[in-house]
Chain A
Amino acid sequence: MKARVHVSLKSGVLDPQGEAIRHALGTLGFEGVEGVRQGKLIELELAQTDPAAAEAEVKKMCEALLANPVIESYKIEIA
């Protein structure tokens, strides 16, 4: 089964890369983009077949390595 982990900077943490993207979109003529936050998507292929067990395991992975809880939050999707 597959898991997707979305990792993003916490809301209070400045994201200069997102700001650079917003600026570039403005340069291209896209108006009204009031904010951009950049994150990352990590896709995992898991041998586990039980969704609840898979989610519990991926949560542990997030806490141990995939996200830094000091600056990042994460969201897990199991598919």
Chain B
Amino acid sequence: MRAAVIVFPGSNCDRDMQVALQAVASAPVEMVWHKETALPRGLDLVALPGGFSFGDHLRCGAIAGKSPIMRAVSDFAHAGGHVLGVCNGFQILTETGLLPGALLRNGNLKFLCKPVALSVKTSASPFTSAWNAGDVATIPIAHHDGAYVADPDTLAELEGEDRVAFTYAQGAPNGAVHDIAGVLSANRRVLGMMPHPERAVDPAHGGTDGAPLFRSLADALVSA
């Protein structure tokens, strides 16, 4: 697997993502600045990292979503490429329309930074195949705007097509509808999630429950 991590002004989990992809998935990782207009050739995965791109101005992820590189990321996704968006990356994916719904201010208005128990809802994706559906993984969240919302038709579609990847196992701390923590695209190759799997891959992190996500990717994209 060959991966790229997109770096925006204000990204702050880009290097964590790089290290996780290298350490767990043994992937060569290129860092790509947002002003680039093309992705490196031969990529299997593009990761949009967490952080506060463009200071969260206007709406979280809105300005980053219009960055020059995002046109190339969008083309990559539409051509069947795999894209992982974590936290601010998830917000950027909804802003660009690569994933449905939106992320709103947390219901209790607080910035939430703590490990949370996630329920893995599906193992049928290149991001979650190393888990079994129903597994619980403890992975940190760190966000102010993580309340997932979508209209009822979209929710029915996501749930009907088994596209909810993760829910908060003990109720959504941020007010997300149906406790949704992560969703997949229709072709299951784009995942957006608020929790940070890249912050749970090394025993020094306090847990390695995020590692199966990167192992899943390594398995799925090994021959790509």
Contacts and interface: CB of A to CB of B under 8 A. Distances in A.
Interface of A: 13-14, 16-17, 20, 64-66, 68, 70-71
B101 A13 contact: no
27 contacts: A13-B104, A13-B149, A14-B104, A14-B147, A14-B149, A16-B105, A16-B106, A16-B108, A16-B109, A16-B175, A17-B105, A17-B109, A20-B109, A64-B66, A65-B58, A65-B62, A66-B58, A68-B59, A68-B95, A68-B102, A70-B100, A70-B101, A70-B102, A70-B150, A71-B102, A71-B104, A71-B149
A68 B147 CA distance: 15
Classify the secondary structure of A's interface with B: helix
Q: Which of A16, A17, A20 gathers the greatest number of chain B CB atoms within 10 Å?
A: A16
A64 B59 CA distance: 13
Nearest to A20: B109
Please classify how large the interface on chain B is, using the bins under 10, 10 to 19, 20 to 34, 35 or more: 20 to 34
A66 B65 CA distance: 12
A49 B94 CA distance: 35
A64 B71 CA distance: 14
B80 interface: no
Nearest to A38: B105
B9 interface: no
Interface in B151-189: 151, 175
Contacts of A14: 104, 107, 147, 149, 175
Counting chain B CB atoms within 10 Å of each CB, which of A14, A20, A70 scores highest? A70
Interface string B59-79: 100100010000000000000
